[in-house]
Amino acid sequence: MSALDGLAGQPVIVGSGLAGLLTALELAPRRCVLVTRAPLGAEGSSGWAQGGIAVAVAEDDSPALHLADTLAAGDGLCDAAVAARITAAGPAVIDILVRHGVRFDRAPDGKLAVGLEAAHARRRIVHAAGDATGAEIVRALRAAVLACPSVTVLEHTRLSSLLTEAGFPGARIVGVVLEQDGRRAALATGQVVLATGGLGALFRDTTNPMGATGSGLAAAARAGARLGDLEFVQFHPTALAVPGSVADAPLRLVSEAVRGEGATLIDETGARFMESELAPRDVVSRAVWRHLGAGHAVFLDARTALGDRFERRFPGIAARCRERGIDPATMPIPVRPAAHYHMGGLMVDADGRSSVPGLYACGEVACTGLHGANRLASNSLLEAAVGAVAVAAAIGREVAREASAELPAGVPPAARPSTLALVRQTMAYAAGVLRDQAGLEAAVGTLAPLADADDAALIGLLLCLSALDRRESRGGHYRTDHPGRAANAVRTTITLGEARARLLRPELRLAS
């Protein structure tokens, strides 16, 4: 791959969502390589974010109030010191994004306009172009990266695997294996930043881009890194469910704001089946999933609450519905829960350092401890921005190391479409909205034989093992066989080595 000539020794950033783009910009003028599988900025969740970034900037707000809401959502498992640091850093990262060209919506007096979202005690959602916050952030940062002479962008290039010293899992990073047009090459580097996003596409129903299969997380696991909180996945209760679209395309969101305007959840008989449609996301998701499981169809009915006003209030959602033949003013909207956000990931410290020397992470792939068992809405863009700034500062303080790396003999695995379909189906039923021991063990039995050769199966397996470990229900993780909360819950962590050792243990009783 001649594109790699002269790049050895530079930090390598993988992913071009908010986290990757901002890391590259904040590293400047230090030279770096930005590797991204699709065109720059095109494939991630970042460009799809609608709501905005949660930041305490209003006069009646404070980082302490934001922290309190974050800890309440996290259901006892947030790292309080991390959450305090990240919520306090919010106003400064908004300034940084503005400096890089992001145009946030403003009130007539020039101050940032702030919106309100569920579970936030104050108006603190900073947004852009109304409900196109992510698109505006990616537009601005992409333009800034393209204009930044210190960043070499490698588009259509996939991180295949991470190389560690002497090939030992957990040893220092010495390079990456990159794949472009079916060809693989090694690039020597002592510093890799994973900004590869989430793993929603491991589930049959997801709001994430189809590339969100956790491939960066898999590379980290194979390099011996410690992963954490893997079992905590947030399911959005109302994704637009249109027959025929579920298997191979993301489901579009029907925002909570529609329920906020009074729309109700009904089934095919027209009957409501929830007392309050404004209960927390996980509660509504479980109710919808159970009702679907009982053989009903589920719809969001905005006919009375919004009717003709729907189009004006929610033009984007109305357009998406109409594309699929649904007029939300006169017809109920079919909905189902979908995997939306992963709270877990590669465990990192305040500088974004993982347990593998030289391997950093920021954004959704990272597990900082901010979210605990459940994410407070709009805290993820905040975490991605704060994490990117911290990683860049930490790398900036390091002295560049001499680096050399060779392509290893073994061919690293990639997600194979055939296996991916099986993983999605398996995860939807075993590790979805409702989980139990028998289902998770059956999923482990399906995924374990595939995990050595397939990244998607590996991450699905590690997630299921973590979900088996958590014998309680909390946040985004619900066990029908352990519906209560444990008194002294702790965070779960796992490495690939530990998973292998567990799979040898007879008490795991793998189903065939």
Ligand X SMILES: Cc1cc2nc3c(=O)[nH]c(=O)nc-3n(C[C@H](O)[C@H](O)[C@H](O)COP(=O)(O)OP(=O)(O)OC[C@H]3O[C@@H](n4cnc5c(N)ncnc54)[C@H](O)[C@@H]3O)c2cc1C
Query: Which residues carry out catalysis?
Result: 281
Q: Are 1 and 183 in contact (CB under 8 A)?
A: yes
Q: Which residue do the tokens 């922290």 mark?
A: 67
Task: Determine if the peptide bond prior to 149 is cis (ω within 30°).
Answer: no
Structure tokens at 214: 């956790």
Member of 285, 354, 380, 419 binding ligand X (CB under 6 A)? 380
How far is 347 from 462, CA to CA, in rounded Å?
14
Instruction: Write down the least CB distance from residue 157 to ligand X, Å.
Output: 6
Where are any strands of DSSP class E within 39-188? 53-54, 114-115, 125-126, 151-154, 157-164, 173-180, 183-188
Member of 115, 216, 344, 432 binding ligand X (CB under 6 A)? 216
Annotate each residue in 140-179 with x if it binds ligand X (CB under 6 A) or - if it does not, as one string.
Answer: ------------------xx--------------------
**Burial of 461 per CB tally in 10 Å (0-12, 13-18, 19+):** buried
C-beta of 215 vs 374, nearer to ligand X? 215
Q: Are 412 and 383 in contact (CB under 8 A)?
A: no
Torsion sign (Cα): 290, 473, 215, 495: negative
- Interface segment toward ligand X; rule CB under 6 A; list 141-149, 294-302, 376-384, 503-511: 376-384
- Interface segment toward ligand X; rule CB under 6 A; list 14-22, 64-72, 290-298, 484-492: 14-22
- Interface segment toward ligand X; rule CB under 6 A; list 203-211, 241-249, 326-334, 345-353: 203-211
How many Cα atoms are found within 13 Å in the side-chain-facing hemisphere of 113? Answer: 15
348 binds ligand X (CB under 6 A): no
Annotate each residue in 234-273 with x if it binds ligand X (CB under 6 A) or - if it does not, as one string.
Answer: -------------------x--------------------
Instruction: Write down the least CB distance from residue 38 to ligand X, Å.
Output: 5
Instruction: Write down the least CB distance from residue 145 to ligand X, Å.
Output: 12
45 binds ligand X (CB under 6 A): yes
C-beta of 145 vs 442, nearer to ligand X? 145
**Burial of 22 per CB tally in 10 Å (0-12, 13-18, 19+):** buried
225 binds ligand X (CB under 6 A): no
381 binds ligand X (CB under 6 A): yes
Q: Are 451 and 461 in contact (CB under 8 A)?
A: yes
Binding site for ligand X (CB under 6 A): 14-20, 35-38, 43-46, 48-53, 133-134, 158-159, 195-198, 207-208, 211, 215-216, 253, 341, 363-365, 378-381, 384
